[in-house]
Amino acid sequence: MDIYCAKLMEFEKFLIDNKIVLKDKAKYYVDWADKFLHGINYRAEAIDQRTISCFLNSMSKDNRYEDWQIRQAAGFKIKIFSRKGTEAQR
């Protein structure tokens, strides 16, 4: 298992343990996190409001995504910043 997979599993656990999303929905937020991280070449230092906004903007222009998927991914934005905030407190 590589470090990115382990981090995504940790993120899923964080979402569930902190009751940020329901257990059966956590996998969808992990999927958005994976798609976003892939887009920034898995560089943690690139996670900021600008790159997440670019990610959401690119989704909105992509016909493969429905409106509800874009809204769900926008919810991921809040979740990932919640995660970063807890890491900063460690």
Q: What percent of the chain has pLDDT over 70?
A: 82
- pLDDT reading at 40 higher than 50: yes
At a CB cut-off of 8 Å and minimum separation 6, what does 48 contact?
none
Structure confidence at residue 58 as a pLDDT band (50, 70, 90): very high
- pLDDT-based confidence at 64, cuts 50/70/90? very high
Domain CATH for 78:
1.10.150.130
Domains: count for the chain: 1
- Model confidence at 85, pLDDT cuts 50, 70, 90, reads very low
What is the total residue count of the chain? 90
CB 80 within 8 A of CB 51: no
Q: Record the pTM.
A: 0.73
2, 43, 49 from 54: Cα distances, Å? 26, 15, 9
| 53 or 90, which is more confident | 53
pLDDT in tens, 20-31: 889 998 998 888
What is the span of the domain harbouring residue 10? 3-89
